[in-house]
Amino acid sequence: MECVFGMVGKGFALVVADTSAVNSILVHKSNEDKIMVLDQHKLMGASGEAGDRAQFTEYIQKNVSLYQFRNGIPLTTSAAANFMRNELATALRKNPYQVNIVLAGYEKETGPSLYFIDYIATLHKVDKAAFGYGSYFALSMMDRHYHPDMTVDEAIKLADQCIEEIRSRLVVAPQNFIIKIVDQDGAREHSWRRTTKE
């Protein structure tokens, strides 16, 4: 019962993910960080099968770093999103990754952005996005309360409302969530929302 969602506010983008590592009816971990920092100004929240998620996100992270190392400049968020989409599309005909991505980034020229990339290589630039069973509730809450000029405090409050809705509505809801933000100061962890200990 995974859940990853994100939104763009005024001068920042936010990504939230549950932290449970599950297989069938077993919870293996409750502190799995599913939001990877790609570089100083990019966050990648991923959901999907644990092996595919780990392999694909690490592959993307290393290739984004390699590009920056070879060329001396980082990929833009749009370029990183298109690279991910291309890798998923190429793998789709061979050995597909069961991975859904919410990519958030910040550029000085264009500001914050959020990209929705699913396992069949669909790519959209959006203001808000969600994957997993919790997306039904997160998207409905964001449809009702989201606006493009949200402050960080308003976005965190909305994220907390989404988390509370997911916890109260899903039969087997994830208990712990992590919130990360990217803005002009870089990508960083904001906070955890825990109900269970490691």
Tell me the CATH number at 121: 3.60.20.10
What's the CA angle centered on 32, arms 99 and 84, to 5 degrees? 25
What integer pLDDT is reported at residue 195 of this predicted model?
75
Which domain range does residue 10 map to? 4-193
Q: Is 25 domain-assigned?
A: yes
pLDDT of residue 23: 81
Whether residue 198 lies inside any domain: the answer is: no
Confidence band of 198 (pLDDT split at 50, 70, 90): low
Structure tokens at 139: 């998207």
pLDDT at 29 (0 to 100): 84
Q: Residue 22 is encoded by which pair of tokens? A: 């599950």
Burial of 69 (0-12, 13-18, 19+ CB in 10 A): exposed
**pLDDT band for position 196 (cuts 50, 70, 90):** low
Residue among 27, 97, 109, 24 at smallest CA distance from 73: 109
How many structural domains is the chain composed of? 1
In a domain, 122, yes or no: yes
